Structure 1
């Protein structure tokens, strides 16, 4: 069996800064964890194309950053010392070399993907507790591969003869399962004479997470750190690879004891990769099953927008491929954005704002998620990146409460109206209550309206630093003009007939709120 040490094997793809490229010339396309931390100040971001894998990797990197900077505990309990120590590291311009050296000297042996005794983020007991003839297979490990009877979207593979998976790709699939894995049936696992295959959904299943992002990965990792509670102790707040023993699968999952375990030890799934004995750095099979039979971990991820259901239950804002990131802006910048959902800003933003005070470049927000149902259906990756906006957080700029909410509400108002108006026009034209063509018209209108509205939103929002006061009437007119143009484009093909022209003219009033009656 060939080792695959994640500390040194080149499995992560960095995007090097222009300054690094100018200084060093040709730079490696892939690097290991240790080099990534050592050179994070020379990296702008990561070139991970799958948003859920990117979100998972960031959580691991946050935990490692907390360890090497000793920001995993708050010694004096006031929060002030922790903030000062973080700003000192930010001023130093790079992660501390001695902290990186000390951590990897202690834990590098636990960061091997294919270690036979303790493979990283895996449970070696599955080789005995699961039926080796009924594995999940590597096709199920990788989200972009079709498995079973599902359609192939990204690659053509067969369950009967699957292609081996390169280790760098297998790591991302492994992490995606830990955070976004479905509920339902996995490989049957027998523990203490009891055999079951029922799995619980992962902690980020179907959710969209939001990450403060600086001009370098170094800034991004510092901004993404959580301030520990005063009672957090390093010896109790352990990442999975730092535990002396594997957890008991027959019992309840260990409760997170601090930021590091909260970020990395929240999986509801157990996995084991089967390496290719003949080919270094390849996985040929995988076991995927449940991790804990007794209960589940609470969902308290600090990078999610939490909102309240009509039944009074907290749930994360779901990933929606049809929803642009700017529509969440007030829930990201305001302490209490209002509305029936009672949205709560991601917890991490409260401490991330300290970084905006110390850097010349304000932080942006990267959104990463996976549109999924609770069980097996994976619909679409979701990703977005705002311009630098966190200096507009309510604590920094009181105008944001009025401006962000107004811009978003007006943009969404005319988005709803143009969709309703084209549906109404199609209904009048077809003379049917629910013509199937109406949804096509609505989809076309949405595809035209929302990108233009987003462009207008950021253009307006970007004026705030100059002190421009937002004019409500002018802003309303800008979104209305976009809606009018979209409506004309979508309905134009039927305007050549008298019936079509009349239907389009009658439905156009919906752009302006419709006839007197209940407001839309």
Structure 2
């Protein structure tokens, strides 16, 4: 049995301590902890300090499942589930004895490497024989921030033949990204029962933006992120991958999650195996990455996503978009039935999260990417405390939030149409590309619109004493219109010195007010 890198013990998770913990500590506190340390000290930890948002999102799901296990909140009973969670909250910390008991029971399943026929954590040791050892994925493919293969190197240079070996801590975070955000399409070939195939299904969170309630401490964050199990859920059936007696059959259909713990941790469509460096076990020298199941797909039903309906009437999660500010999703997080033709449904976690605290923020984590190989940009954003404004608790303010969001977006879309029309009229070319102007206008408008939204949001009254909850629709409309007008004037100023340019700008300006009315 290996003696290195048990993830319960090894300090691999970067964290940020609360100011109070830093003040009261007799010495310098560590910047990283293992899983057991994170659970035991969650009251003194402000947040995880993971720089890669999809890895942060993935690890939160692992921690939610572990929190549910050690608190007994992985089942609906005995008694009222919400009351039992409040009792844990009142205790001020996760139960230390149960953390130690769980760590002792499953410690052998949390080794990062295992060469003695065991089960390395979140990996499939069978890949060493089922995949071609001469055609592995390599560490540049494993680490999602690196270029691999024939891709361009934007931020760092590297070589697949002589790569910089990642640390074990870096590798395990990327391992989680592959499990949750891995691409579909061709992967390393895997031979099972005499048949070799090389096609994988996309990960359960690929392309999606994940929304998490966030408290002042990791302890509050983890409790707020728990999902109330259905009455039929049993922990012996609702298992995490490290709790399975046997590894799943790659030729069989993937098992359907039976409860919150399996839904959070056992929806991977990829199989991965890390290979330690022969001379330094602190480094990873290679990786196998391939498909987990030959056919079938685990149903996507994550409680931290906004689900909506496409024009083809298909249900899909709201995608991550690095250009879209989080405030534009706020009404979809606070309202039970937000407006919109896509019929968005707020993440299930927000049904009960405010029971932990009304001062919870929302943290959005994701990866803007396509279903297959293309990855574009990470997404990491947070709000001020907003869950006290959720429709269930402040029914009068929620429609006001939706109205502000609609006005902000309406004038942003009108600005986009206006600058494109101005460019089209000025160039007298119906196919003229106005994307440069549109991008500049968006860069000027959206950050200021976000500041305007939050300024007005903070003025809303949720006591119920003000009938209009402090929202002046006319003034709000005028404020967003003013921001759009200023952005339009700044972008088009360069062409107003000519008669044709001035005419184009004057005509296009009407789009800021809704456009020229059509004659009936």
With the length of structure 2 as denominator, give the TM-score of the two structures.
0.96
Structure-1 separation of matches of 2:511 and 2:351: 41
SS across alignment from 2:475: helix
The answer to whether residue 393 in structure 2 is matched with residue 393 in structure 1 is: no
Residues 126, 189 of structure 1: 8 Å contact kept = yes
User: Which whole-Å CA distance do the structure 2 matches of 1:499 and 1:275 have between them?
Assistant: 67
* Conserved 8 A contact 1:429-1:499: yes
Q: What residue number does 2:90 align with?
A: 91
Q: Look up the match of 2:428.
A: 431
The Cα shift of 1:2 comes to 6.1
Shift of 1:270: 0.2
| 1:377 aligns with one of 352, 370, 374 | 374
Structure 1 residue runs of 5 or longer lacking an equivalent are none
Q: Which residue of 2 aligns with 1:61?
A: 63
Matches within 5 A, 1:114-513: 114-116=113-115, 117-356=118-357, 362-436=359-433, 438-465=434-461, 467=466, 468-513=469-514
Give 1:322 shift: 1.3
* Structure 2 CA distance for aligned equivalents of residues 465 and 124 of structure 1: 57
Q: Which secondary structure does the structure 2 equivalent of 1:165 belong to?
A: coil
- Aligned partner of 1:34 in structure 2 is 36
Summarize deviations over 1:332-384 as a string: whole Å, max 9, x none.
00001132111111011111121125xxxx11100011111111111111111
Classify the secondary structure of the residue corresponding to 1:9: coil
Contact 1:2 1:114 in 2 (8 A): no
Shift of 1:236: 1.1
Q: Is this contact kept in 1: 2:15–2:47, CA < 8 A? A: yes
Alpha-carbon displacement from aligned partner over 1:194-227 (angstroms, at most 9, x marks no partner): 1100100000010001000001100000000011
Aligned partners of 1:2 and 1:277 also within 8 Å: no
| 3-state SS, counterpart of residue 348 of structure 1 | helix
Tell me, in whole angstroms, the C-alpha distance in 2 between the residues paired with 1:165 and 1:346. 35
The two structures, once aligned, show a CA RMSD in angstroms of: 1.4
How far, CA to CA, are the matches of 1:5 and 1:415 in structure 2?
A: 50
Cα distance in 1, alignment partners of residues 519 and 352 from structure 2: 43
Q: SS at the partner of 2:157? A: coil
Contact residue 453 and residue 482 of structure 1 kept, 8 A: yes
CA distance in 2 between counterparts of 1:311 and 1:426 reads: 33
- Describe the superposition over 1:470-508 as per-residue Cα deviations: whole angstroms up to 9, x where unpaired: 111000000011011111111112222332222222211
Distance 2:405 2:86 in 1: 33
Asked if structure 1 preserves the Cα contact closer than 8 Å seen for 2:397 and 2:461, the reply is no
Asked whether the 8 Å contact 1:334–1:400 carries over to 2, the reply is no
Give the Cα–Cα distance (whole angstroms) in 2 for the partners of residues 311 and 432 of structure 1. 33
For structure 2, the residue ranges without an aligned partner over 5 or more in a row are: none
Determine if contact 1:144/1:153 at 8 Å carries over to the other structure: no
CA contact (8 A) 1:2 1:280 kept: no
Q: How many residues are paired up?
A: 511
Q: Secondary structure at the match of 1:88?
A: helix
Partner SS, residue 119 of structure 1: coil
Q: TM-score, normalised by structure 1?
A: 0.96
Q: Check conservation: 2:461, 2:470, Cα contact below 8 A.
A: no
1:38 positional shift: 0.7
Contact persistence 2:54–2:378 (CA under 8 A)? yes
Q: CA deviation at 1:109?
A: 1.6
Distance 2:294 2:194 in 1: 13
Is the contact made by 2:389 and 2:398 (CA closer than 8 Å) also made in structure 1?
Answer: no
CA distance in 2, matches of 1:120, 1:150: 30
Counterpart CA distance in 2 for 1:207 and 1:49 is 18
What is the SS of the residue equivalent to 1:288? strand
* CA shift for structure 1 position 280: 2.3
